[in-house]
Structure 1
Amino acid sequence: MIWKATHHKLALGCSLISIFLIFLDTTIVNLALPIIEHSFRTSRYAIEWIINGYTISFAAILLGAGALTDFFGIKNIFLIGLFIFAFSSVGCGLSHTINFLNGFRVLQGIGAALILPSSLKLATRGILEQDRKLIISYWAAAGGLGLAMGPFLGGVLISIFDWYSIFFINIFICLPILIYIFFYFPKEKPNFKFKFDFLGQILLSSSLACLIFFFVELPNLGLTSYIVQTSFLIFFITISTFIIYERKIANPLLPIQIYKNLNILITSLQGFLFNFMFYGILFTLTYYYFGYLKLSILYSGIAFLPFTGFVVIGNLYSHKMSKKYGDLKTLQIANCFILLSILIIVMSLYFKLNETILFVVLPIIGLSSGLIVPILTSQVLHGSVSTLHGSISAGFNTLRQLGGAVGIAIFGPLLGLKQDMLTGIVICFILCSISALISLVSNFFIKKPTTT
């Protein structure tokens, strides 16, 4: 089959829609959480797994998804990922218990992880080198737009239908893409010469799952619980084995030596801290709008726009800011604005000042957050050889997703404190400010790039 220019455009469209969809599903569920909690009459701890189940499976599989794409081919992995995503979306919408819903969310995260690298390769397949940067910027913007629009679209769908609609909507988007790619995208033969680190993938997935289980269940069961103790013990054993094993094999899932480069290590930790803060704010605002201010689902979704909408604007202006002030300076400015803005929110909530202060400050946090992500993504690759870029980028994105999961695991119990909800909300924002402060300080330890 001749791969014509028309097919290039349609494949690009499929790629952009799919990346929009998987990031949309990281935030579209936020406003559904209180509704699902009430509908299933379940605990806050179980509800956290609706987000964390997706995030952790996404993070764990993402590290090896790029290698799987190289092994089985773009078309095969993209179709498998999209089918898993669509199938699990149906399962989520039809779930009648919280355990079934959480199980299908884990499956959905696996599908999303397979879609991410294969969709990028789908978008850039066969294009000219001078067009590659532009296509990648479109691809990244589509993901950012999905992340930003999630709470708003979730609010609209839930207010018109019910919580299950946020999952069923995926079917109508996935089906035409599946049909088009299946029939029109060129077939590829698996690259059997490529060796995939299956054991490393299993060890990493197990360790991440046990770590998040430990954080989620610790406030519920306590440190004396054998389940909590066992989960931490398994985490320690699996992550230790993973590190030792990855240092010895020829084709590791994650080359551990890359973190000897201080710049890569600090920037990766900044990615963790950023998602801890960002997802923490999203999670906290959900309960602040719907639980404390008693806004309707629709108005709660609209109330997110001053925050999430400005993230997209920040993404678009990030390159210009970086070019004018440099990466480090831009990161310092953005983190300063985030820190000051969160402190203003803490003071306004603590002293119960007018709520409009929040809506004035949130756009600043959103804009600053939008500036940070593209720069961190670029900064983590500075000073490293190109052959390690895939591993460094995958490790960076995995740590980012882990940061979001840890944030939600910690913030969930705080928002369910027996004292008034406002106290828990204030504590959550204080933790976000600490995260921003650590990120700001860590910028001063980044040195001029050196080759890894």
Structure 2
Amino acid sequence: MTVVDQPRQLVRYGSPTGRWVLFATVLGSALTFIDATVVNIALPHIGREFHAGAAALQWTVNGYTLSLASLILLGGSLGDRFGRRRVFVTGVIWFAAASLLCGLAPNVQVLIAARVVQGIGGALLTPGSLAILEASFHPDDRGRAIGAWSGLGGIAGALGPFLGGWLVQVSTWRLVFLINAPLAAAVVAVALRHIPESRDPHAARSLDVPGVVLAAASLGGLTYGFTAWPTNGPGSAGVATSLSVGVAALIGFVFTERRSAHPMLPLDVFRSRAFTAANLATFAVYAALGGVFFLVVLNLQVVAGYSALAAGTAMLPITVLMLLLSARSGALAQRIGPRLPMTFGPLVCAAAMLLFSRIGPHAFYPATVLPAVIVLGLGTSLNVAPLTATALGSLDESRAGIASGVNNAVARAAGLLAVAVLPLAAGLGTGSLTNPATLAPVYRTSMYICAGLLVAGSIIAAVAIPTRLTRPREPQNREMHCAITGPPLRADSNT
């Protein structure tokens, strides 16, 4: 697949233009990375200011994730067709405008609506950052550029909770959103001046609009139904209708993608047993992680009595451990095969869930919280890199884009549904997530459920992930459409 319009546009890693391209893509991606973490820290303050119930707080998180998960594959397709810089810049501007609306929201209903709009911007800019790196840099420098993007993005993700906790504690939760505007302005200015435009001349000329609509309807119907269930009950017309729409839309999505000439999700990718297993494991693992990162920070503030800043930095060792160990874990999986790391990594994470379940009132960080955080960091470091590499490497290299996009969408959909379902499954009922007496037992049960999901992910890996991954070869005359341009699997890749 051709990823640039003209070879003369390629930039070198050490050049001034190369550094500016890295700056724009890293900072643009960091907007979404940081926002996804700091909002959890602000939830107790949002709940108190708006007198918001559990469902409203869940939708404050899920409104963003819903639109992002539904549209991220479309965002990659739009970049391939209309220009990656153009769609990236549009996404950044869209994200910033929605962030301003979030920060100025007069009530929780406007905040949720703005979060949905913000997710649309995230879906436009997120796939564009890696695609721009692959399209802009010389083949000899792409590996270094993507490595730098990953490392710097990890640092941004580590600083995000600290910054968010500090802003909430010294000022107001609204600054968590308002700070995005000046950062976005810097990204747009640099991108327009320094990032060369690129597109895929072989991209499909038609977009899979029915697939997009049905995917959004499916995720939205299921999320709304499960979120409303604790308050309204399973017999209410709204819950039953919403869940029915979600299931029907999911069936319609599968049927549509099977018949579409240019599907958003080509179903033939699931003929690969390794790819299917990797995505099933991704769903189980990321559902658990989505629940953990939603509930632990909330529990630390509401039940354990931590400040927003302390709760925001409590999980920081996880990011540090992943920065230090993920590359080594990937190298280990390449040497011994992905099955063992993907089997034992989730089991280590499951042990961390049992440690997290002990966090109660006045929990002492070094003795109660830190051990759970370290064990979770070790487990995720062992599992995430092999999991991602298996999902990408299970298909022919020409389909790396769709492999990356599907895996990304599966992970985000898992987190979305986890936030909707976990409080219901843990027995929240009509209680409030900002009430310590209500949250404490729900939190503890949720950690046990997350442990079970991680064990399920481990079993899937042990049974279905091959000991050695062999990339299949596609017929040379087969037409391909990549919805998202993923990172090259070799530093010299030109596809």
Query: In which range does the TM-score fall when normalised by the shorter chain?
Result: over 0.9
Task: Give distance in 2, aligned partners of 1:193 and 1:326.
Answer: 36
1:75 aligns with 2:85: yes
Look up the match of 2:338. 327
CA positional deviation for 1:288: 1.9
Distance 1:354 1:10, change over 3 A: closer
Task: Give distance in 1, aligned partners of 2:335 and 2:321.
Answer: 20
Look up the match of 2:270. 259
CA positional deviation for 1:340: 2.2
Look up the match of 2:209. 198
Look up the match of 1:274. 285
1:222-241 C-alpha deviation (Å, 9 max, x unpaired): 11111111111211222212
Runs of 5+ unmatched residues, structure 1:
none
Aligned residue for 1:254, secondary structure, equals coil
CA contact (8 A) 2:21 2:194 kept: no
Pairs within 5 Å for 1:263-302: 263-302=274-313
CA contact (8 A) 2:283 2:414 kept: yes
1:334-386 C-alpha deviation (Å, 9 max, x unpaired): 2222122322443x459999661331231120232133222211101334222
Look up the match of 2:176. 166
Look up the match of 1:16. 26
* RMSD (Å) for aligned C-alpha atoms: 2.5
Look up the match of 2:229. 218
1:152 aligns with 2:162: yes
User: In structure 2, what residue type is equivalent to 1:112?
Assistant: G
Query: Paired residue for 1:49, among 39, 45, 59?
Result: 59
CA contact (8 A) 1:29 1:51 kept: yes
- Count of aligned pairs between the two proteins: 451
Look up the match of 2:391. 380
Task: Give distance in 1, aligned partners of 2:144 and 2:281.
Answer: 26
1:250 aligns with 2:261: yes
Task: Give distance in 1, aligned partners of 2:44 and 2:427.
Answer: 12
Runs of 5+ unmatched residues, structure 2:
1-5, 432-436, 475-495
Look up the match of 2:403. 392
Distance 1:349 1:126, change over 3 A: closer
Query: Paired residue for 1:107, among 106, 117, 139?
Result: 117
1:421 aligns with 2:439: yes
TM score, norm. by length of structure 1? 0.92
User: In structure 1, what residue type is equivalent to 2:172?
Assistant: D
Task: Give distance in 2, aligned partners of 1:200 and 1:421.
Answer: 38
1:271-323 C-alpha deviation (Å, 9 max, x unpaired): 11122111211122122210111111122222222344333333343323324
Identical counterparts, % of pairs: 25
Task: Give distance in 2, aligned partners of 1:66 and 1:412.
Answer: 33
Distance 1:150 1:389, change over 3 A: same
Distance 1:187 1:259, change over 3 A: closer
CA contact (8 A) 1:26 1:150 kept: no
Distance 1:420 1:188, change over 3 A: closer
CA contact (8 A) 2:304 2:360 kept: no
Task: Give distance in 2, aligned partners of 1:338 and 1:242.
Answer: 33
Task: Give distance in 2, aligned partners of 1:94 and 1:253.
Answer: 35
Look up the match of 2:189. 179
User: In structure 1, what residue type is equivalent to 2:133?
Assistant: A
Task: Give distance in 2, aligned partners of 1:20 and 1:223.
Answer: 39
TM score, norm. by length of structure 2? 0.85
User: In structure 2, what residue type is equivalent to 1:313?
Assistant: L
Task: Give distance in 2, aligned partners of 1:447 and 1:289.
Answer: 36
1:16-61 C-alpha deviation (Å, 9 max, x unpaired): 1111221111111111001000100111101111111111111111
Aligned residue for 2:136, secondary structure, equals coil
1:382-427 C-alpha deviation (Å, 9 max, x unpaired): 3422233222221111110011111111234548565553211210
Distance 1:324 1:405, change over 3 A: same
CA contact (8 A) 1:313 1:367 kept: no
CA contact (8 A) 2:285 2:346 kept: no
Task: Give distance in 2, aligned partners of 1:88 and 1:336.
Answer: 39
1:438 aligns with 2:437: no
* Higher mean C-alpha displacement, 412-421 vs 42-51: 412-421
* Structure with greater helix share of residues: 1
1:247-290 C-alpha deviation (Å, 9 max, x unpaired): 11221110112223222112111111122111211122122210
Distance 1:75 1:198, change over 3 A: same
CA positional deviation for 1:98: 0.7
CA positional deviation for 1:11: 1.0
Task: Give distance in 1, aligned partners of 2:394 and 2:309.
Answer: 46
Task: Give distance in 2, aligned partners of 1:195 and 1:393.
Answer: 21
CA contact (8 A) 2:50 2:107 kept: yes
Distance 1:95 1:434, change over 3 A: same
1:67-103 C-alpha deviation (Å, 9 max, x unpaired): 1111110121011101100100101000011111111
Aligned residue for 1:439, secondary structure, equals helix
Distance 1:390 1:435, change over 3 A: same
User: In structure 2, what residue type is equivalent to 1:16?
Assistant: V
User: In structure 2, what residue type is equivalent to 1:49?
Assistant: W
